[in-house]
Structure 1
Amino acid sequence: MAVKQSEQYQLVIRSLSDRIVDAQAPIRVLDAIKWDDNIRDQFFRDGCSKLPDVGPDYYKRRPLSFDPAERLQVFQDIERDITRQLGTFNPVGQIMRRMCREYRMVIRMLEGRGTPEMGRISQELYGSASDAFHAGDPTITDLGITLSESLSNIGNDLGREPKTIAAPDAVAILQERMDQAFPDDQTVRVFESDGIVADAAAGADYIKIRSDAMFNQRDLKILAVHEGMVHVATSLNGQHQPICTFLAKGPPSSTVTQEGLAILMEIITFASYPSRLRKLTNRTRAIQLAESGGDFLDVFGFYRGEGYSDEDSYNNASRVFRGSSSYGLPFTKDLAYLKGFILTYNYIQLAVRKGKLQQIPLLFCGKTTLEDMRTLGQLVEEGLVVPPRYLPEPFADLNALSAWMCFSGFLSNLSLDRIEADYANIL
């Protein structure tokens, strides 16, 4: 029996989409750029005074887990077939072609590990600390400095809980919360890992907890919100897409939106706290330092000066230079947190102001990118994209979110300097 044209169209999109998902599978950026433990051990044996021996030769001894030339050709073939089968201006085709181009850039970035090319492509994919948010607006560096100045007046967190929860107990607590959050996807796993730099990291259907990390209840709340209700939720929502399966995978352009959503969730659920925000601003300042010519020792010293232990200073500095040399341009992915928060917040506020509330939940229908939101709205109307199955509570209740954004929009127009003068006698 002949397939209807609309069904045939959906089958074409699904086939091309599945090819992108399969093609990106062997590309694991963070695994390809992380430093081995022996680099850390040698750094401390040298008294934290010598640059880690990381450059092009270091990565040559650690070949990629895929053939770059073969993967480049695969993505080029997919991009060619997208144009042949969908045309030049098809909205879904435009998104998928951009994904193919981004993945080719990722491959070239990884081929350039240890060289300036790694840093240059990283800036193109994830941005630079000197990027402005909008024409005439402050830069990401300016935001980091402004936040740091505000945080300096707060000092240490008031009544912050000590970290008494070891990794095994943290796994059990988070697993219970994930089971409650995703009742239809009981495959979401929480487990220990000793191969990550951060305290925790999320994958498509899991959260990894660093084996030697310690936590408190606030830390676990942030992990549940940030890693679980944003990163895992958007992955699962993407996996439940029947046609546009590419939404289950996040190219670099989606990183800014996804991390921005995660930070926004931390803030509007009152999970964040000053030390957490200080960690994010320090990442931005460290990248800016490296982009300005600072080497690993300079960034390590910066973190020491911020009160971090030598171990934490090393871990944070290695995040900046992973994939690069110890004296080269930084890996700029960590700019996505603050940059993404500002851009995503602005998008939601404008959606409320313009009465386009139906656009907001679509941020969670997969690994989305802000520039695709109008197109995704059209695809939902056409039945090519389904609304998100899992929405965190603040985004499931658009009435409350809208009220919050309306007040926030008004308050942002007030002059804080004028308010400070007026309140001088009462504060």
Structure 2
Amino acid sequence: MTSPTQQLAPALDIDARLTEIERSLNLLLNTTPVNAAEAWADFERCDFGTVPTLRLRPLEFEPDLVRRDLYSLEVENVTDPALHTLLRAKRDEIARQITVLEDRDTSRFVYGSLQLYGGIAQPLASAAEELLRIIPAQAPSTRTVTAGAFAEAARAEFDRYRAVYPDFPAHIAVRDDISELMVSFGRLLIPETAVFRADRVEPLLHHEVGTHVVTYQNGARQPLTLLTIGLPGYDETQEGLAVLAEYLTGGLDPRRLRVLAARVVAIGKMLDGADFLEIFESLRADHRIPTKTAWTIAIRVVVGGGNVKDAIYLRGITRLLEALAEGSSLEVLLVGKFALDHIPLIQDLLDREVLEAPWVRPRWLDVPGAQERLDRLRAGLAVTDLYEGEVSA
């Protein structure tokens, strides 16, 4: 008698090949400036008056060859209806990623970004404006830690997981060619020049390690390898889950909420035609965002020619709050990286024993007070309710 996995062998072969192709593209690294620290120094030196020049790394793949590989996959031969739909959608998403990367630093880039990440609907824009209105502006934090100190804290966090799950891999690298903290294919990458707010270290570890690395490793234990790199449109749900981790551990403070809201507002201005300096000055003057934070938000929005990705954080937590209030399971989202819309498909594959229950349980579900906070969310809260009135010193 053949197992469910054996019956799905053709689909799993295509799944593995799609995963390999997306890894070769490395969308995250290839849309991250390699010279952000130098660009900031130049920008500061000219008294914030000159548009920075952001450099992206050269592509290490030939787009036409990757497209040929992509469309040679015989997705039409997959007989399982759910997987056939999923694999076709993933193939189309990868094709859009190739085009986006080809279009970097052109006026076409923003349209590809919109196709990948979606636009800003009025309710999201209104929620962002409301958060910036109701949360008092605050001075930049004075207590900070270096990239090296953050890396040490990250190693300790990995050790906590390895104490419970001895086979949990730990991959941490401090790099000089990235500008943002990120997880890329299960590896925690830390910018060499980064400085982190001391009170943000623990929430960031729950965000990056406890969510992005944990769901990567849970996905790596599944036969469907796309669960490591993400099913189509997974980013929004994944970032919503990571912001939820910050909230449940008491780390979604007023400064952080203002940043998530300011990202949405900045993208709205970019889509309305504002350039870097207009976005930067608006964040400082209209919303009293600290100068370095305004810089970071603005470069993330204009890089490549206009990137709308940063709206997924506020949109992701908003949609997750709605799903929790409707009774959606949080545990199923830990199986790997996928969108809320894929929960029925993932549940079906779990029921058919194609997929297994998550291997690792994130620590953020078990910190003191987390379950009480989660219960409040399940009772129904809007994203603006996440501001609890505290103001950091």
Q: Does 1:302 align with 2:287?
A: no
Give the TM-score normalised by the residue count of structure 2.
Answer: 0.86
Q: In structure 1, what residue type is equivalent to 2:252?
A: S
CA gap of 1:21–1:337, structure 2 versus 1, over 3 A, is same
Alignment match of 1:232 (pick from 213, 223, 248) = 213
Give a deviation string over 1:253-279, Cα, whole Å, max 9, x none: 000000000011111221221111111
Cα drift, residue 4 of structure 1: 3.3
CA gap of 1:314–1:404, structure 2 versus 1, over 3 A, is closer
Q: Does 1:215 align with 2:206?
A: no
Match of 2:327 in 1: 351
Q: How does 1:92-241 map to 2 (within 5 A)?
A: 92-129=83-120, 131=121, 138=123, 140-152=124-136, 155-156=137-138, 162-182=142-162, 183-198=165-180, 200-241=181-222
**Alignment partners' CA distance in 2, 1:163 and 1:212:** 16
Cα drift, residue 34 of structure 1: 3.2
Question: Is the 1:361–1:395 Cα contact (8 Å) retained in structure 2?
Answer: no
Match of 1:8 in 2: 6
Match of 1:288 in 2: 268
Question: Is the 2:216–2:228 Cα contact (8 Å) retained in structure 1?
Answer: yes
**Alignment partners' CA distance in 2, 1:301 and 1:82:** 49
Q: In structure 1, what residue type is equivalent to 2:111?
A: R
Q: How does 1:64-75 map to 2 (within 5 A)?
A: 64-75=59-70
Question: Is the 1:163–1:214 Cα contact (8 Å) retained in structure 2?
Answer: no
The more displaced of 248-257 and 98-107 is: 248-257
Match of 2:49 in 1: 49
SS in 1 for 2:333: helix
Q: In structure 2, what residue type is equivalent to 1:188?
A: A
Cα drift, residue 49 of structure 1: 2.5
Give a deviation string over 1:12-37, Cα, whole Å, max 9, x none: 23212111111112112233233342
**Alignment partners' CA distance in 2, 1:408 and 1:370:** 17
Question: Which structure 1 segments of 5+ residues have no match?
Answer: 133-137, 325-329, 353-358, 417-427
Q: Does 1:83 align with 2:79?
A: no
SS in 2 for 1:215: strand
Q: Does 1:331 align with 2:307?
A: yes
Question: Is the 1:190–1:208 Cα contact (8 Å) retained in structure 2?
Answer: yes
CA gap of 1:103–1:386, structure 2 versus 1, over 3 A, is same
Match of 2:342 in 1: 372
Cα drift, residue 114 of structure 1: 2.2
CA gap of 1:16–1:106, structure 2 versus 1, over 3 A, is same
Question: Which structure 2 segments of 5+ residues have no match?
Answer: 386-393
**Alignment partners' CA distance in 2, 1:233 and 1:288:** 32
Cα drift, residue 162 of structure 1: 3.9
Cα drift, residue 333 of structure 1: 0.6
Q: Does 1:389 align with 2:369?
A: no
Give a deviation string over 1:203-245, Cα, whole Å, max 9, x none: 233222222333354211112110011000000011111x211
Match of 2:20 in 1: 22
Match of 1:319 in 2: 300
**Alignment partners' CA distance in 2, 1:339 and 1:76:** 32
CA gap of 1:209–1:64, structure 2 versus 1, over 3 A, is closer
Question: Is the 1:300–1:317 Cα contact (8 Å) retained in structure 2?
Answer: yes
**Alignment partners' CA distance in 2, 1:412 and 1:223:** 23
CA gap of 1:275–1:348, structure 2 versus 1, over 3 A, is same
> Would you say how many aligned residue pairs link Structure 1 and Structure 2?
377
